[in-house]
Amino acid sequence: MNIFKNSVSLRGFLAGDAEVPTSDHIQPDSYAVLTLSIESGVWNKARNKWIPQTARHTVICPGPYFCGFTRGMKQGDYVEVEGELRSTLVEEGTTLRNSLHAYVVHALTIRRLEVPAIGVDESTEGEDT
Q: Cα 65–71–110 angle (5° rounding)? A: 60
Q: Which fold has domain 8-112?
A: OB fold (Dihydrolipoamide Acetyltransferase, E2P) (2.40.50)
Query: How confident is the model over 42-63, as pLDDT tens digits?
Result: 999 999 999 999 999 999 999 9
What is residue 1's predicted lDDT score, i.e. its pLDDT? 80
Q: What is the DSSP string of 96-129?
A: GGG-EEEEEEEEEEEEE-PPPSTT-----TT---
Q: pTM score, two decimals?
A: 0.78
Give me the phi and psi of 104, to 5 degrees please.
-135, 160
What pLDDT tens digit does each residue of the chain (129 aa) get? 889 999 999 999 999 999 999 988 889 999 999 999 999 999 999 999 999 999 999 999 999 999 999 999 999 999 999 999 999 877 776 666 666 778 999 999 999 999 887 765 666 665 554
Annotated domain spans of the chain: 8-112
What is residue 5's predicted lDDT score, i.e. its pLDDT? 95
What is residue 66's predicted lDDT score, i.e. its pLDDT? 95
What residues contact 35, with CB distance under 8 A and at least 6 apart?
A: 14, 15, 16, 56, 57, 58, 59
* DSSP 8-state class, residue 40: E
Q: Are 15 and 56 in contact (CB under 8 A)?
A: yes
Q: Alpha-carbon torsion 118, 113, 80, 1, what sign? A: positive
What is residue 35's predicted lDDT score, i.e. its pLDDT? 96
58: helix, strand or coil: strand
What is residue 18's predicted lDDT score, i.e. its pLDDT? 96
